[in-house]
A and B are shown apart, each in its own frame.
Chain A
Amino acid sequence: NAGVMQNPRHLVRRRGQEARLRCSPMKGHSHVYWYRQLPEEGLKFMVYLQKENIIDESGMPKERFSAEFPKEGPSILRIQQVVRGDSAAYFCASSPGLLETQYFGPGTRLLVL
């Protein structure tokens, strides 16, 4: 049973470009969460999705950030017009349901030049 997959593992973008981060949950998991980790900080919740639905996006910045989890395919975290402050590690986690353990992927390290 493969774990949570994230790609790319590393992503370099120039200011103003778009970044797309992908997450494939563990088999049998229908709940996906995105977290961001800034240097020397803990992980911060961004958004919680189930298939085709955003359940909670209270941790997402109001502008430039969006997330989706389509019926088919991976979950996508999209950052438009990236700025240097978006440089961070972005982790995806999945679980089979509410109050079930969340398992994390290896993360995507975004660097904005």
Chain B
Amino acid sequence: DQQVKQNSPSLSVQEGRISILNCDYTNSMFDYFLWYKKYPAEGPTFLISISSIKDKNEDGRFTVFLNKSAKHLSLHIVPSQPGDSAVYFCAASVTQGGSEKLVFGKGMKLTVNP
């Protein structure tokens, strides 16, 4: 039962263009959503998050959009840079009974070509 889905395993874009990474979820109880970036042999690095009560959050080149009715969020990176090449994980936070856990998608590999 995959509650957070990243349906595209990979994306390739040219440097300077926009990268759009998509994520769908099924659980309406998620409190907020996060994007992490991961390089090989390293841990996930936090990028940006958005509360379930908002529809947009922006931080520099990164913007996350949330469409609650569609249970869909996306991460926009503009302009894309070669250093952005990594695996990106969408994650959702669920809080229940005093506990919190993150539910991750399978990840999507972004390649930004110079």
Contacts and interface: CB of A to CB of B under 8 A. Distances in A.
Contact of B99 (A56, A93, A106): A56
B106 A45 contact: no
A99 B100 contact: yes
Interface stretch (B31-39, B56-64, B78-86): B31-39
Interface string B92-114: 01010111111111110000000
Contact of A43 (B31, B44, B45, B100): B44
A93 B93 CA distance: 14
A66 interface: no
B101 A40 contact: no
A69 interface: no
Contacts of A106: 41-43
A65 interface: no
Contacts of B107: 42
Interface of A: 4, 6, 33, 35, 40-45, 48, 55-56, 58-59, 91, 93, 98-99, 101-107, 109
